[in-house]
A and B are shown apart, each in its own frame.
Chain A
Amino acid sequence: MLSIKNLHVNVDGKEILKGLNLEIGKGEVHAIMGPNGSGKSTLSYVLSGRDGYEVTQGEVIFEGRNLLEMAPEERAWAGIFLAMQYPVELPGINNMSFLRESLNAIRKARGEEELDAVAFMKLIREKAASVKLDDKLLKRSVNAGFSGGEKKRNEILQMALLEPRLAILDETDSGLDIDALRIVSEGVNLLRNPEHAIIMITHYQRLLDYIQPDFVHVLADGRIIRSGGKDLALELEDKGYGWVLEENAA
């Protein structure tokens, strides 16, 4: 589904990703772990098409298409979704209208019929209930004045609504209490099926107690230096990143 080969990325002239390789197949859940500053967020932004990330080498192919040539909205239409670490607040933009605009833009791009207000209302109520997001937050401006947990849940709501082919969760677990973490995890688990793939970027093992990954990768200094099964995460939790880094250096 997604194939990243020898990806080099500069931010402000500084090389952050230094030859990253990653293959992700349908139905798989990958966890990417690593110390701060290793390039985890850069990877998520490059995949979703944010400005300011200069690809100097390598390629990213998503379902046969060159992802790097696509605009952010085209990537969303193709089925890529990034749950952001710090979702922005959009005062004055009604959450419900935004969600409908987003869903219909994606449906339109896929050649599906746009949902009318009534059908959308029914769907969004269902989805909001599934991630336990208070209906009141649908009527407010997007993320404006939301708590950290509410913002993350709003991200998961969007994911549940848009049903992306590939969801990237950028430290969605950070700053969440156990209850919120459980709700977010349930949302992710609902998306899990043989047609969808998920990349979870996380600093902690904690999230992996709730979402079992098929693969765990350690990202350090712009490259994946170790890959394994879910046991690798346990080992990291136990021993910290130090030993992987040392082994890699050796």
Chain B
Amino acid sequence: MSTPTTTNWAQALVQQRSSPAPAAWLDNLRQQAESRLDRLPLPRRKLEAWRYSRIDALFKEKFTPVVQAPDGASLQRPESNSPHVLVFVNGWFSPSLSSLEQLPDGITLKSLAQTLNDEDEQLRQHLGSIADKDENLFTALNTALINDGLFLHIATGIHLDEPIEVFYLNTASEEALLVQPRNLLVLEEQAEATLVEHFLGGKGNDYFHNNITEILLLGKAKLNHYRIQDESSNAWHLSNIFLRQGEQSHYHGITLSFGGKWARTDYRTSFSGAEADCNLRGLYVAGDDQLGDFHLDIHHNWPACNSREQFKGLLYGKGRAVFDGRILVDRIAQLTDAQLTNDNLMLTRNAEVDTKPQLEIYADDVKCSHGTTVGQLDPQHIFYLRSRGIEETMATHMLCQGFAQEIIDHIHLDSLREQTLQRLQHTLKKLQE
């Protein structure tokens, strides 16, 4: 039951892979992924996971993979207060735009391509090992063309206090580019770090950003992970985050989604130990010609783990969103505490959301709940603000920001929180014009 066009679409992209990988094991990984392209279930709208995505339109587009490191000389260095800044241009690490200060012993923070030359054992052991579950065409496509990305390894007990800030710049090009960073983060026992990722594209740039991030947290490791997706209005963006959490590890993740014509983020979490905490939060803002698309697959396969999933959407114009949140609790996963919420604020009649929370529970001693809302601004709230002298447009602005604030308040970095508020206000101001 294959759709030839779709297979061809992916195969054609892989054929453009220029040279063999610098390491034999990686070449092997690529080729295995390539051989799976034919066998994988094809993302089609008949499949539940792809029903509401603009997948058909994507397959009609022609993309060119970026097989060589682009010249980033003409680009401006992104502003950052962090001492550890990595910049990727069209998926490739740019040393000239990056600035990496001396890191404490026990921390490896490099580009994947750089690391390949060093024959890093950690990389070889873990790359692809977390993403092997629930592989789909897009994850295989990324693997089949692995070139570069972010590699972070923190040894046992080491804390990196300053945040690592990563920028993915997607530049203008004559052809629509396929950009595929491939990231691996390994935090050994009791290691701690904060990672901030910005996905950026110049106005109107046409590309498909298909990234994969594999995260392995061992016992008591702790990662704060902020992701700000602000792609070009013509961009296709697909993020796959594969997370495996060890005993008593802690993951605190927030994705803020503002840009792209199609911006999909998939989180897949599973556990390899008990009593771990997984907090996933997100805010999506989508207007005309935009689809914000979130899929969560949280697999509670160990006892006594907590997960909190809280996602909020602000939709305006003809903006669309999809929220598909699934929590699966195995029979063994007693004492699971999982709470999922999704709230959507519709600012216009033409905005649309498909929201689908799912709990699948096979254990009998758990605390699980889910709740979704789809609503509009409350006229009583607007009246209250207006009766205090605040103009209607400003009142709307304040209420929208208030709605988003609950997510934004979970950003523990002051400068990033401020930056996010400004980004949100930028969109809200446009709404009032």
Residues on A facing B (Cβ under 8 Å): 48-51, 71-73, 75-77, 81-82, 84, 87-88, 90-93, 98, 101-102, 105-106, 109, 141, 158, 162
Contacts and interface: CB of A to CB of B under 8 A. Distances in A.
B398 A93 contact: yes
B386 A88 contact: no
Contact of B390 (A82, A88, A102): A102
B269 to A, nearest CB: 27
B383 A101 contact: no
Contacts of B387: 48-50, 72-73, 75-76, 81-82
A92 B405 contact: yes
A102 B388 contact: yes
Interface of B: 378-381, 383-392, 394, 398-399, 401-406
Given A76-B389, A105-B390, A105-B391, A50 B406 contact: no
Contact of B389 (A51, A91, A93, A109): A109
A93 B383 contact: no
A109 B388 CA distance: 12
Name which of B378, B386, B389, B404 has the most chain A CB atoms within 10 A of its CB: B389
Name which of B398, B401, B405 has the most chain A CB atoms within 10 A of its CB: B398
A49 B399 CA distance: 20
Contact of B399 (A72, A90, A102): A90
A141 B406 CA distance: 11
Contacts, number: 74
Nearest to B402: A92
A162 B390 CA distance: 12
Name which of A48, A81, A98 has the most chain B CB atoms within 10 A of its CB: A98
Contacts of B384: 84, 87-88, 90
Contacts of B390: 73, 101-102, 105
A76 B405 contact: no
Contacts of B391: 73, 105
Contacts of B406: 91-92
Closest 3 CB pairs of A and B: A92-B402, A92-B405, A76-B389
A79 to B, nearest CB: 10
Nearest to B409: A92
Contact of B388 (A50, A92, A158): A158
A141 B394 contact: no
Contacts of A92: 401-406
A73 B389 contact: yes
A106 B385 CA distance: 12
B376 to A, nearest CB: 14
Nearest to A79: B389
28 contacts: A49-B383, A50-B387, A51-B379, A51-B383, A71-B386, A71-B392, A75-B387, A82-B387, A87-B384, A88-B381, A90-B384, A91-B405, A91-B406, A92-B402, A92-B403, A92-B406, A93-B399, A93-B401, A98-B385, A98-B388, A98-B398, A101-B390, A101-B394, A101-B398, A102-B389, A105-B391, A106-B389, A162-B388
Contacts of B399: 90, 93
Contact of A73 (B378, B392, B398, B403): B392
Given A75-B387, A92-B404, A102-B389, 15 more contacts: A49-B386, A51-B379, A72-B386, A72-B387, A73-B391, A76-B387, A76-B388, A84-B384, A90-B385, A92-B406, A93-B401, A93-B405, A102-B385, A105-B394, A158-B388
Given A93-B399, A105-B394, A73 B386 contact: yes
Contacts of A76: 386-389
B283 to A, nearest CB: 12
A32 to B, nearest CB: 19
A98 B388 CA distance: 9
A3 B44 CA distance: 68
Nearest to A72: B386
A87 to B, nearest CB: 7
Contact of A93 (B380, B386, B392, B402): B402
Nearest to B403: A92
A92 B386 CA distance: 17
Contact of A72 (B383, B398, B403): B383
A88 B380 contact: yes
Nearest to A52: B379
Nearest to A105: B389
A141 B379 contact: no
A141 B403 CA distance: 11
Contacts of B405: 91-93
Nearest to A45: B383
Nearest to B397: A101
A88 B386 CA distance: 13
Contacts of B403: 92
A95 to B, nearest CB: 11
A89 B75 CA distance: 47
Contacts of A98: 385, 388, 398
A67 B385 CA distance: 18
Nearest to B380: A88
